[in-house]
Each structure stands twice: as structure tokens, then as C-alpha cells.
Chains A and B, each alone.
Chain A
Amino acid sequence: MNRFNLSALSALLLFSSAAVAETVFVTLEKDNALAVVDPVDGKLIKTVPVGQRPRGIALSPDGKTLFIATSDEHTIKTFDAETLKQTGKLPSGEDPETFALSPDGKFMYVSNEDDSAVTVVDIAAKKAVHTIKVGVEPEGIAASPDNTWVVSASETTNMLHWIDNQSRSIVDNTLTDPRPRAVAFTADSKQLWATSEMAGTLTVFDVASRQAVQSVKFDVQGVSSDLIQPVGVVIDKDRRYGYVALGPANRIAVIDAQSFKVEKYLLVGQRVWNLAFSPDQKRLYTTNGVSNDISLIDLTDHKVSKSVAVGRYPWGVAVKP
């Protein structure tokens, strides 16, 4: 009887957690591993070794393949998202850190910091098909959802390079605030949001004209301005809110994506860098590099619900539905 009750209970638990059975993957820069987290229970499930200094991470649009940039091995590895077994390697150039996938999942755009270039990789052929010279130290990179643009931000040149995805060549360069770190397109591909680490700002560009239309300066009460170093940025699909990770300010800025007013600063762990939505966009996950955990933010009421220890130097985050 007792056992029956127990199994009934566990079946119930399984069923209830199946409603939001997403998995969060976090690269651990210092542990050379990938942390697998169940965000519903707020628990670390396991840690899997993936290679030296894993940083950038992304899931293919079909959710089957996980791409992880193992910087010290100078390659981007592919893993089966179910079994987490390595399935291959992609040529990425030296020291890959960040990369972006094309919306159809066929190509990958890798920032090569040391070579001041963007490498275009054909994923199926496992080949680098193009190299595009950009400014010094390219870092942030994003492909527009309508597949027309790839934008690369160079940290030292303080420029955004607008690469036409058809011709794979730069058609425009725009200056932005000092040390741009991350770029993100809105879901309608009409805006590009770029964060600047040194200036402590977010700049919003109109994609059609490629001109800056808004600048948001972050200011957290009681936190000195040199600690406000915006990095990761995401915008929800309805463009109601955008979220920016403020690095050592240990905060996430919640921005009204229509009026560009900062509505709130949410306290998370130390040196927060990268962000990812849950598939239904009801939750946001942040990697906190110094406090070795990730924070789970409930987006229905904009509250941090939990922080989960994952391992040393969590860097990137990807969510599998």
C-alpha cells in the first residue's frame, strides 16, 4: 500500500513537472563542464565534462544539437542535446567565445577576437565557408530572425559591423558607445539592441536606417557607476520588455521595450553576464560568474525566485524545451 502510494505520488510529481519540463544548460568556464539544471525544482541535475574553457553555448532551432565553444581547444563542439554525447567538432578559428546561429540553423557565425574576423561555418558540411574582416576584438554577434543581417560588435573599435547575409560582406559600420559587448535583434528584426560595457549604456538601433534611435543609461541606486557594466541582452517576442545583465552591479535591468524606461533592477548573483528565456518566455535565467550560480527570474511578476549553485564560473546559458 505504502509503495503504491509512493509510486502514485512520484507519477503525480512527474506529471506535474512535465508541464514545464525544460532543461537549462550552463557552461562552466572554470570547471570545463556543462551543468544541467532542472529549473522547476531549482536543482542541479548533473555536470558533464565538455572540454577546456567552455563559454558560448546555443541550441539548434530543432532543439536536437547543442553547440559549445570550448575556447582553449579552439573549436566549437556539437553535442546531442538528449544524451549530451559529443557528436562532432566545427572549425571556429582561434579562441572562440561567442557565436550566433542563423535562424534556419544551417550556418554559424563565430567571432574571432584575435584575428578581428567573423567566421561563417556551414554546420552540415562542418566547414568554414567565409571569413569576414571586422574591427578589433569582435565579441557580440547576432543574426536577424528574418535572415537578412548578421551584426558583429567589435569591443575595441566600438563599432557595429552590419554584414549582409546574402553577399556575406559588410555594408555599413556604425559607431556605438565604448566597449560594446552583446547585440540582440527584436523578434520582428526591426531593432537591434547593443550593450556597452564601459559606458554603462544600452543603444537601440533602427535596422532599416542603421541609426541609433535610443540610448538608455543604467543607474542603480547605491551601486557605483563603474560597476555597472551591461553585457547580455534579450528582448521578449512581443517586445514588451527587454532585459540587460549589468555584470558586477549584480542586477538585471528590466526595460520597457516601448518607452525604453528602466522599470526595475532585480538583484541576482555576482557578475551576471548572460541571459536566456524559457521557451514560453515566462522565466529568465541568468549566469552569475563570480557567485557560481544561476538565478531564476519569474517574468510574470518580475521577481527573482531562486538562485541555484551550478559550479565554477558559469558563463553561457541555453534552454531546451
Chain B
Amino acid sequence: MKFLHYWRAMAGIVGRELLRFLHQRERFVSALVRPLVWLFVFAAGFRAALGVAIAPPYETYILYEVYITPGLIGMIQLFNGMQSSLSMVYDREMGSMRMLMVCPLPRWFLLVSKLIAGTAVSVLQAYAFLGIAWLYDIQAPAMGYVWILPALLLSGMMLGALGLLLSSFIKQLENFAGVMNFVIFPLFFMSTALYPLWKLKESSVVLYQLAQYNPFSQAVELIRFALYGQFNQPALLFTAAAFLLFISAAIVGYNPSKGMMVRKGGGE
């Protein structure tokens, strides 16, 4: 019976998140508009910007739009992760988190359920984006669309865990602008989402190394390789390790007796 209990709690949390996603059509549209603006406007300006090196997983010359598509999927997941962390802060301020926290299940389980819920939403968004990209003639091999699913799940969980961890630090909704400046922008711009590593190395070795060890880069590379039906083991291990690190820290962070909650006045 215990198992059923767990299952019902998780189904409830995931169901609520998906329902919220389906009902908030504006959120769906806005989550798609951001990467699409990058794709149609930003990438159009840099069409032939990649020069002449062919780097795996690509086997021939590609347009810039093709290059940044996996990066923009990463962007969708990054923003989604941050948004669900934002909603955690909001839930806390509004008091609906209390409802969740009084549930007689371990806190880590509730947090992981919340994470799965957020990831499910981001996967839907990513596929919708890939569908539009396909119509825009950015087409990967058919199997790539299957292989990308496990990659999306892991990267979504990793970025969601990062969001959870951050949300345990943030006391008020207003602080989210800080997250934007200090987390999202550095993660996104110091990564392989917009430019390949070899291109970064041309300008700065420090940047190159920062980008290489940026967990967001590794998640993007995992997605990129999966989309072309290839397996990138280092990226997988790195992303998985980052996920474990973030989720453990978040669980500690959400523990009222040990974590950041104490500093924030013992939670609610």
C-alpha cells in the first residue's frame, strides 16, 4: 500500500504541473517564443558564421541555425528549470507549499516528484520546438527524435535540480532577477549552446575551459549528440554527476533543521 501512496502523490504533483501547463497557454507560447526568436532572428544573422571545421556529431557543413537548435532546447529546459524554482518560491510565499509539505511522505520524494513534473513539461516544450524547427528545415535523422528523449529527461532533471537548489536560497520572488543575472546568463553564454568549443578556444582559453566544465554545456552536448543518434558518454556522466550533486544539495537545502531554511527563519 505504501507504494501506491507514493505513486498517488507523484501522480498528483506531475498531474497538477501538466494541467497547469496545458491551461496556461500563454506560458506555453512564451516558452516557445524565446527560443524561436533566437532561431529565426539571432541565428539568421549568423547564418554562415561557423567557418569550416566539421566537429562531431556533425559530418558535414551546417548552417548556424542547425548548430544552435540543441542549444536552444537546452535553453528551454534551463528556463523551465528556473521557472519551476520560481514557482516554488511563489508557492512558499502564497502558502500552497505548506500543503505539499504536510504530506506524510519524505521530503526528498516530494522534491523529486516536483522535479519530474517540471521535466515532463520541458520535454513537451522541447518537442514542440523541434516540430517547428523541422518545418523550418532543421531536420535530424528520424531515430534522433527517439534518442533525444532520455537525454532530455536527464538534462531536464539536472537543470531542474539546479533550479530547486537555487530556490532554496531565494527568500523572495523579487530576487529572481538576481538568478537571471548570476545564473542563467553566465550558464547560457559560457556554454556550447551558441558557439562550439573550438570557436571559443580561438578567442580565449579561459572561456574555453569554463565552457567545457559548465554543466549546461554538457547537457547541451548530450542533447546534441542524441539528436544525431550518437552517444556522448563523457557528457552523460558529467550531466548525471551534476544532477546528483544538485539534487542532494537541494534536499539538504530544503531540510528545515539543517539547510537554508534555518537561515531564512526556519521555513514557515
Contacting residues of chain A (207-222) with chain B, CB-CB under 8 angstroms = 221-222
Please name all residues of chain A whose beta carbon is closer than 8 Å to the beta carbon of B48 when the two chains form the complex. 222-223, 250, 267
Contacting residues of chain B (22-81) with chain A, CB-CB under 8 angstroms = 44, 47-48, 52, 54, 59-63
**Size band of the interface chain B makes with A:** 10 to 19
Q: Report whether A307 and B60 are in contact in the complex, using a CB–CB cutoff of 8 Å.
A: yes
B173-185 contact mask (Cβ, 8 Å, vs A): 1 or 0: 0000000000000
Q: Report whether B47 and A295 are in contact in the complex, using a CB–CB cutoff of 8 Å.
A: no
Residue of A nearest to B59 (CB): A306
Residue of B nearest to A303 (CB): B139
Number of interface residues of A (CB under 8 A): 17
Known: A221-B47, A222-B47. A304 touches B52 (CB 8 A): no
Q: Report whether B62 and A267 are in contact in the complex, using a CB–CB cutoff of 8 Å.
A: yes
CB distance from B53 to the nearest CB of A (A): 10
Which listed residue, A42, A223, A295, touches B61 by the CB 8 Å rule?
A295
Please name all residues of chain B whose beta carbon is closer than 8 Å to the beta carbon of A306 when the two chains form the complex. 59-60
Please name all residues of chain B whose beta carbon is closer than 8 Å to the beta carbon of A270 when the two chains form the complex. 52
CA distance A296 to B61 in the complex (A): 11
CB distance from A126 to the nearest CB of B (A): 41
CB distance from B48 to the nearest CB of A (A): 6
Please name all residues of chain A whose beta carbon is closer than 8 Å to the beta carbon of B139 when the two chains form the complex. 303
Q: Please tell me if A269 contacts chain B, counting CB pairs below 8 Å.
A: yes
CA distance A306 to B44 in the complex (A): 23
CB distance from B54 to the nearest CB of A (A): 6
A232-272 contact mask (Cβ, 8 Å, vs B): 1 or 0: 00000000000000000010000000000000000111100
Please name all residues of chain B whose beta carbon is closer than 8 Å to the beta carbon of A223 when the two chains form the complex. 48
CB distance from A286 to the nearest CB of B (A): 11
| CB pairs A–B below 8 angstroms (18 shown) | A221-B47, A223-B48, A250-B48, A267-B62, A267-B63, A268-B60, A269-B52, A269-B61, A291-B52, A295-B60, A296-B60, A303-B139, A304-B60, A305-B59, A306-B59, A306-B60, A307-B60, A307-B61
